[in-house]
Structure 1
Amino acid sequence: MVRGCNYSAKEPESSVKEQLTGEEKAEKQMELQSRYGTKKAIRESKKLRSLKQEDGPESQKDLDAKIKLIVPNKEALESTESQISRHIPPFNESATTPQEAYPLDKIILTGEWDLLGDISEHFQGGAEVSWDAFPRFVCHRIHKLQDIEVDEEKFKLSCIFSYITHLIKFKDQHSMDGISSSRTHRIPNLLFHKFSTMFPMESKSLSNEKTNLLISYVLVLTLFVDEFETDLTDVAKDLRMSAIALRKHYENLGCKLVRKRNVMFATLPVPLQFPQLRQRRQKRNR
C-alpha cells in the first residue's frame, strides 16, 4: 500500500516533464513545417500557431468580456422559469399598466390577426348568426362591438373574441365532455397547428399542465375584453369549471378577486404579484 502511494505521488513529476518535452518538440516541428513543409503543412502550422496565440492572456480577457455579454439576465431567467412552472402566458413582471402585464402581441402573433376575422365579418355583414355556437363569454359581450367607433379597435376586439372561441373549442375537441359540442367547429389550420404544438396531447387528451396553460391564455384574453375587471360566471361555464376552481387560475395569473353586487370579479393589479411572492412578503413583515 505504501509503495503504491509513493509511486502515485512521484508520477505527476515525470508526466509534467514529458508534457513539457512534448510541447518543445511540437514547437520545433511547427518551425520546420513552416520553413520546409508543403503548402498544406504550412497552412496547418499557421492554424496551430493561431490557436496557441488565442490561448494567451489578452485573448482570455476578450473571451471573458464576450461571456459577460451573453450571460442571461437574472430577472429575465426567473421570469421564464416562473412562466413555465405556473403554466401561464409570457408576462412582464415590471409592467406599470395591466395592458403591459401580459403583452397581447405575445399571445396573438402578428400573422394571426388575419385568420381571426370571422366574427368581424359576421357582425358587419348584418346576416343572422347562430351565436349559440359561440362561448357564453363571447355571446354576452358581442354588443361591445357596437359601442366602438374606431374600426381598428373594433377589429381587434372581434379578433380577441375569435381567439377565445378557438381556444375553448380546441379544449373541448380534446376532452370527453366537450367533444360533441365542438365537433363541427373549424379552427384555421395555422392556429390548429400552433395549438397542437403549444398544448400537445397525452393519451388522446390534454395533460393537466397543458390544460392549465390553455385556460390561462383564455383568462388573460377575458381580462383584455372586460378592461381588466371580468366576471367569472360566463367563462367558468365555457371552460366547464366551477367559479371556485376558476378563481385559483385567475389568482395564479396575479389577479385579485373582488366581490361587487354579489358577483365575483377578477382584476389585475400591477406590478404583478403572484401568490407565492405574496406569501413570502407577508412572512417578512411578521
Structure 2
Amino acid sequence: MSDASARKRQKGLQGQRIDIALATNPDAAPAPALALFPSAQPPAKTPFTLYTPTGSPAHRQALLAAETDEIEFESRNHLGLAAGGEDDGYSTQYMIGVRNPRTNTLTLHAAPLHTFTPSIKSLKAPEAALDSAAAALYTAQRSALGTAFGTKKAQAQQRAQERNKLTESSFGTGAHVAGLQSHLQQSISAKAGALPSAADIEAKANEARPIPPFNAAATSPGDVYPLDGVVSASELHALDLSALVAAPDFKARLQLLPYRRSDWIRTKLRQLLPARASAEGHVANPSKKDRDRLRLVVYLAHLFQFRQAARPGRPVDRAHVVEKLGAGAGGGASAALVDALIERFTEPVRAGGHAGGEERTVTSTAEIKCLCYMLVLMLRVDGWNTDVTTVAEDLGMGNKRVQELFRSLGCQLVAPSAADREKLVAQGRATSAADAAKSKKASLKVPLQFPKERRGKAKR
C-alpha cells in the first residue's frame, strides 16, 4: 500500500514547474562543500575545521583540516593558478541543489571542491630535528635504542657510522695536527692550480667533435675547414671527369653518377655543365674553378651511395661497397677511393663468434662524422650558404636533425628573405609564404663559434 502511494505521489509531481533560486548566504556564514579523498578516507564522525584568510569569505580560498590518531587530512579549495581575483584558480565550479517540497523550489548553493591529501604522522620528520641540540639528543636516543634492541646487522652498521664520523678532534690535537692541516691546504691549492681552465676544457671538447679538422682562428669561411682535411687530393684526382663532361646531355651525365636521387646533386650538375652539347659536337670546357667544384659534386655522389651501401651498426662488406660504387664517373670508383672511404667513415669493432678479430663497422660516431664531412663539402660548393630543407630531404632526415648538425659545424641558421620565399613558392617547394618561411639556410660565420653545452636539468 505504501509503495502504491509513493508511486502515486511521484506520478503527481511529473510535469510540474520547479522554481530555481540561488542562495545568497552572508560571507561569514558557513557554506556546503564537496570532499574528494583519493586514497585514505577518515571515519564518518571525524570533525573538520575550516580556515580562511583574514577578511576573505568563508566559501573562498578556504582550508579544511582534520586529524585522527594516525593520519592528518588537509586540503585547500583554491588552486592558486592565477592572481587576478578571488574566483581565479578554480579548476571546476560545483553547485548543490536543495529542493523544498512544500514550495516546490530548488535552491542552489555554491559548493567548492576540496581534494584531501593524507599524511601519516609516523612518517613525518620529528620537529626536534629543527634544533641542533634536540637533533643530537634524538640521535643519541635512537642510537641507544639500536644498541639495546637492534639486530646484529643494524648494530654493526651503527658502530661503523660512529667510527667513520669526523670531528674537530678526529686527527688529534697539538702542533703536529696543525702542521698536517697546513700540508693538506697547500696540497689542495697546488693540485687546484694544475686543473685545466674552462677555456681549455672547451677547446679539448671541440677537438673531439666528429667533424673535419678546423682552424678556429680563421678570418673567412673558406679558411675554417681546409679542403685537404676533408678529402685528400689523391681521392679527388682519382675521379675521372672526362666521360662526364663529354656526355651529350644531362640524362647521360646523370647515369654516370653512382647516386642519382639527390636534388642537390642534380641542381649543381645543371649549374656546372650545360644541359646539352652543341650540334657540332662541341664538348663543354668548364673552368678550373668549376672543374674543382664538379669533382666535389661527384665525390659527394660517392658519399651518398656509400651511406646506402654501409648501413650503421652492420659490418662493412668491401665487395658490396665496390659493387654499389661501380657506376661512378669514368667506369667506377677506384680501389684507393673505396679503401679511403672505409678507413675514414668506419671504426674497428671486435668481431663476434669464435674467430675473434676485428671488423669495420659504421658506428654512431662514424655515421655523424660522415654526415658532417658531407655538409662541409656542400657548404664549400654552395659558397658557405646551403638550404637546409633540400639537404634534409636528400639525406632522408628531419629538418631539426640536420639543423643540429649544421650548428655543430659552427653554422648559423638564417631565415629566407622575401625574394627567397617567393622563389620557393614559385618552384613548388613550399605551398605558401608561411611554409617557405620555415625553410632556413645554414651559413658558416667567422669567428668560428660552436654551440654551448646545455647545463642544468632538462625540461620535461
Do the two structures share a fold, i.e. TM-score over 0.5?
yes
Counterpart among 223, 231, 239 of residue 379 in structure 2: 223
Structure 1 SS opposite 2:415: strand
- Look at both structures and tell me which one has the larger radius of gyration over its CA atoms: 2
Match of 1:50 in 2: none
Q: 1:76 to 1:159 in 2, by over 3 A?
A: farther
What is the Cα deviation at residue 95 of structure 1?
Answer: 0.6
Structure 1 SS opposite 2:452: helix
Q: Name the TM-score, length of structure 1 as normaliser.
A: 0.61
Alignment deviations for residues 20-41 of structure 1 (CA, whole Å, 9 cap, x no partner): xxxxxxxxxxxxxxxxxxxxxx
2:243 paired with 1:121: yes
Identity of aligned residues (%): 27
Q: Which runs of 5+ in 1 are unaligned?
A: 1-74, 281-286
Check the 8 A contact 2:247/2:253 in 1, yes or no. Answer: no
Counterpart among 162, 166, 173 of residue 302 in structure 2: 166
Q: 1:138 to 1:237 in 2, by over 3 A?
A: same
RMSD: 3.3
What is the Cα deviation at residue 257 of structure 1?
Answer: 0.6
Aligned partners of 1:271 and 1:90: how far apart in 2?
15
What is the Cα deviation at residue 253 of structure 1?
Answer: 0.2
What is the Cα deviation at residue 167 of structure 1?
Answer: 1.4
Match of 1:99 in 2: 222
Q: What is the aligned residue count? A: 202
Q: 1:182 to 1:266 in 2, by over 3 A?
A: farther
* Structure number having the greater strand percentage: 2
Q: Name the TM-score, length of structure 2 as normaliser.
A: 0.39
Letter of the aligned partner of 1:153 in structure 2?
Answer: K
Counterpart among 206, 213, 225 of residue 82 in structure 1: 206
2:370 paired with 1:214: yes
Match of 2:448 in 1: 272
2:270 paired with 1:143: yes
Match of 1:250 in 2: 406
Match of 2:324 in 1: 184
Q: 1:137 to 1:111 in 2, by over 3 A?
A: same
Check the 8 A contact 1:169/1:182 in 2, yes or no. Answer: no
What is the Cα deviation at residue 185 of structure 1?
Answer: 2.5
Q: Which runs of 5+ in 2 are unaligned?
A: 1-198, 275-283, 327-332, 352-359, 422-435, 456-460
* Structure number having the greater helix percentage: 1
Aligned partners of 2:321 and 2:395: how far apart in 1?
12
Structure 2 SS opposite 1:86: coil
Aligned partners of 1:108 and 1:211: how far apart in 2?
16
Structure 1 SS opposite 2:212: coil
Aligned partners of 2:254 and 2:218: how far apart in 1?
39
Aligned partners of 2:378 and 2:450: how far apart in 1?
19
Check the 8 A contact 2:305/2:324 in 1, yes or no. Answer: no
Letter of the aligned partner of 1:267 in structure 2?
Answer: S
Aligned partners of 2:285 and 2:204: how far apart in 1?
38
Q: 1:193 to 1:255 in 2, by over 3 A?
A: same
